[in-house]
Amino acid sequence: MATYEAKDIQVLEGLEPVRRRPGMYIGSTSPTGLHHLVWEILDNAVDESLNGHCDTIKISLLKDSEVSIQDNGRGVPVDKFQKTGKSAMEVLFTTLHSGGKFDENAYKVSGGLHGVGMAVVCALSESLTSISCRDGFEWTQTFSRGKPTSKLKKGKPIRLKGTTVRFKPDSQIFPKIQFNPTWILEQAESKSFLNKGLTIHVEENGNRHTFHFEEGIKDYIKKIVGEKPSITPEPFYVEKEDKELRLEVAFLWTSRTEATIHSFANAIRTIDGGTHENGFRNGLTKALRAYIERRKLLPKGVTGITNDDVREGLIAIINVYLQGDVEFQGQTKGRLNSDIANQVDSVVKHSFEHYLHENQTLGDRIANRVILAAQARIASRQAKDAVNRKTAVSHRLNLPGKLSDCSSTNRDDSELFICEGESAGGSSKQARDRKTQAILPLRGKILNVETAGTGKAIANVEIGNIISAVGTGIAPKFDYSKLRYGKVIIMTDADVDGAHICTLLLTFFFRYLPELIRKGHIYIAQPPLYRIDSGKKTFYAIDDEEKEKIVEKLNGHKYDIGRFKGLGEMPASDLKSTTMNKTNRSLIRVEISDDPSANEIFNQLMGKEAHHRFKFIRERAAFFEELDV
């Protein structure tokens, strides 16, 4: 029997907690967490701009997976910290919850509020160099894995001011260190949009990019809209400032159905929304309700306007700056918790309602757009009710007949494999672990939900089977607690048709069950395309590139290559050992790093407008010499 005594208790000192549990501080050690290191240092530089001390930032992606971020702000303090006798720079990079952002005199507005950003980056870096230009000199100190590797050095006299942080992430922490230039550029562009007058330069792979926007978030809205037809010619813009809060909002409606809402607090992207976003939505809905009621525009059969009706086709940027203590949810700052919903609600309602009455022609056009969404919502609900009545008897047990379920009732241990065709289903059933692995075969390619209406989608037999097997239902009756499997694994053939079916399934999950993606339940299996036999050894390759590497490593030994026609033609023993056995297989977990970008990609590649796909193919055709079609 295991004991639990005083000797079993560990006290982690310094930055050791960060290295032991990096996910608590940066979310994960995936590419998202890796890039979060860049965001932490970038946020510090932007904070200097927010407080009027910096107008230029430079981000450089260097060789050997290093990043450099430079600003022309005040520079990191270098005088001695009285409590420890160490330099302020050393304290900032080696001590959690240290910084000037707890003092409103040093930073009136700040995004890096928790005092852990610089120290966390230092703890998770193999090497880090901090250069501070202040007090007429250049000051340098180096660190590794949260500890100083040199003392603070006073360098040459210099007139310039600012901070440069250069670091290399630790390969002991991150399984793959490769920065995505596109992510860096998008973040830099976003910060420039949010801060009028701020210029951000990015250097990557020999290319130099500069971002500077005079109209701030109004320019941001125009970029997002692009060529989409909009109901309003120009974004509605309002800016309001008092002693505690500065609010900046820009929005308009397009003729599309999807909504795009970006919210920010002190220049930090709040991907999970928060009180500022709630206040904005409520204020917008109240303004439109009041306008529609006063103008008597509501038709018969529509009892009222909801937030969802107003949201349809909406593109909005909400940007707030708060002084004092700002409450975010978690170190990754995904959600704003500060109590400002009523303030934002009031400003948006009164400003927009006044604007609608002053511009009634445009006001009526926006109101009719929202009323049309309400009518579509009511029609969709009626279609759902009709489908539910029609299928109530056949779905009484809420499990599809083709599902070969597992015996385990433990959700975390259970897995659902979604495969294409009866033959693939047969091989999968032979290869599975009956205790923890369930198999749901589909009949070929499922419906493309991007181009089908909600009523048609949920009436589709294959989609209905997936919804029933997963167990959660879909909005508005989605219930996460009823999820039956910890992993939902898309397992399709390793060819073009398989990739298409996989994309159709991903489209369905993104549109109807996005919460399962956000909570890390959706995976893609990696079945091999080739089997290479050489003597008594057998190798598997998922694509031509891997096949060529294996052949090269055989160094002239005789070999035979077999190409699997599909999962249905693959022997169950091969399928089990390569794709379904938990100890040998390789799975790709599906993640959403940026909701608006993902939404746009699905809309372009799977939507009704073919010219988006034509443009996508034309731009990338030069990169492919051969296609497996």
Active site residues: 420, 493, 495, 497
For residues 304 and 377, the answer to whether their CB atoms sit within 8 Å is: no
Residues 45, 537: Cα–Cα separation, whole Å:
55
Residue 123, CB half-sphere, CA atoms under 13 Å: how many? 24
Task: List Cβ neighbours of 566 (8 Å cut-off, separation of 6 or more).
Answer: 421, 423, 424, 493, 495, 498
**Neighbour-count burial of 555, counting CB atoms closer than 10 A to its CB (0-12 exposed, 13-18 middle, 19+ buried):** exposed
User: 169 phi and psi, to 5 degrees?
Assistant: -60, 150
Chain center to CA of 534? 43
Beta-bridge partners for 238: 249
Largest distance between two CA atoms of the chain = 84
- Under DSSP, is residue 130 helix (H, G, I), strand (E, B) or coil? strand
Instruction: Give me the torsion for CA of 386, 389, 392, 398, rounded to 10°.
Output: 40
Residue type, 524: I
DSSP letter for each residue of 435-486: TTEEEEEE-SSPP-TTTS-HHHHHH-HHHHHHHHHH-S--TTS--GGG---S
Question: Which token pair is 18?
Answer: 């960060």
Q: Coil, strand or helix: which one is 318?
A: strand
Angle at 478 between CA 369 and CA 380, to 5 degrees: 35
